[in-house]
Amino acid sequence: MRARLSTFVLVHGSWHGGWCWKKLMPRLVERGHVCVAPTLSGMGERFHIASRSMGLSVHVQDITNLLEFEDLNDVILVGHSYGGMVITGVAERSSRVNKLVYLDAIVPEHGQSVFSLIAGMEDQFNRSANSDGMVPSWKPEDFGVTDPQDIQWMKSRLTSMPILTHREKLDAPKMKAKKLPRYFVHCTQSGMGGFAEKIRHEGGTVFDLDAGHDAMITEPEKLSSILDRIASAS
């Protein structure tokens, strides 16, 4: 079945920016979809405005405002990694969201933070954060990227990010009541399987993808096929 025209808003994860979707977006456009790939405040090309006061709620507002100001409707929100926190918060606030796709992403509940969901991360971030509350990026290889050209491309674009993004708790007490269709793309070479099982247990749909964490960079064609199937689903 040919997918109907859909609008994808692609929300990147920690230390990335809208740039990370560069390989994926043309493939979705070729399939007839509209794609928007914003960069969250204080990251990517917006790194120059980063501050210790930028947390999860700022990023949720970034995407909520985008949907309103660009007048986007029936949106398929795709959140990668930390972006799962963001899209869950946006779904709480906006009536413009049609489906949620967690791309190897964190799947939070109201009142949870990244630190409360991933054991050991808070200590790691506290050790690495500088005096301005900024946490340096992991290496491209840590995201499952092995191609030398991709590694060099990422190294020049990955930026530090405020620790508050991972410390701040999600404010989304009514999100589940909306009963939005939820999907999880499980990159089987990474360690996010627990969140995939959470989505499956709660009645969502899980797609397995043989890839590392940054599948939009390493397997854009396979990922675009999965997202196309999600767009077609009723």
- Give the tens place of pLDDT for each residue, 190-219: 999 999 999 999 999 999 999 999 999 999
pLDDT at residue 188, as a whole number: 97
Whether this model's pTM surpasses 0.85: yes
Q: Which residue has the tokens 């064609």?
A: 221
Host domain of residue 23: 7-232
- Specify if 215 maps to a domain: yes
How many domains does the chain contain in total? 1
What does the alpha-carbon distance between residue 99 and residue 39 come to, in Å, rounded to a whole number?
20
The stretch 30-45 carries a mean pLDDT of 97
CATH number at residue 226: 3.40.50.1820
The stretch 78-84 carries a mean pLDDT of 98
The stretch 130-148 carries a mean pLDDT of 97
pLDDT at residue 3, as a whole number: 46
Q: Is the pLDDT of residue 2 over 70?
A: no
Phi, psi of 184 (to 5 degrees): -130, 125
pLDDT at residue 234, as a whole number: 80
What does the alpha-carbon distance between residue 200 and residue 177 come to, in Å, rounded to a whole number?
17
- Specify if 2 maps to a domain: no
- What confidence tier does 4 reach under pLDDT thresholds 50, 70, 90? low
What does the alpha-carbon distance between residue 149 and residue 35 come to, in Å, rounded to a whole number?
25
Q: Is the pLDDT of residue 18 over 80?
A: yes
- Specify if 1 maps to a domain: no
More confident of the two residues 178 and 106:
106
Q: Is the pLDDT of residue 5 over 90?
A: no
Q: Are strands 134-135 and 161-162 parallel, antiparallel or unpaired?
A: antiparallel
Q: Is the pLDDT of residue 144 over 70?
A: yes
Mean pLDDT score across all residues of the chain: 96
- Specify if 55 maps to a domain: yes
To 5 degrees, how large is the angle CA 71–CA 179–CA 233? 75
List, for residues 108-127, the tens digit of each pLDDT value: 999 999 999 999 999 999 99
The stretch 143-151 carries a mean pLDDT of 98
- What confidence tier does 86 reach under pLDDT thresholds 50, 70, 90? very high
Say how many Å lie between the first and final Cα of the chain, rounded. Answer: 12
- Specify if 175 maps to a domain: yes
pLDDT at residue 175, as a whole number: 86
- Specify if 186 maps to a domain: yes
pLDDT at residue 1, as a whole number: 42
Q: What percent of the chain has pLDDT over 70?
A: 98
Q: Which residue has the tokens 């630190």?
A: 115
To 5 degrees, how large is the angle CA 91–CA 94–CA 95? 100
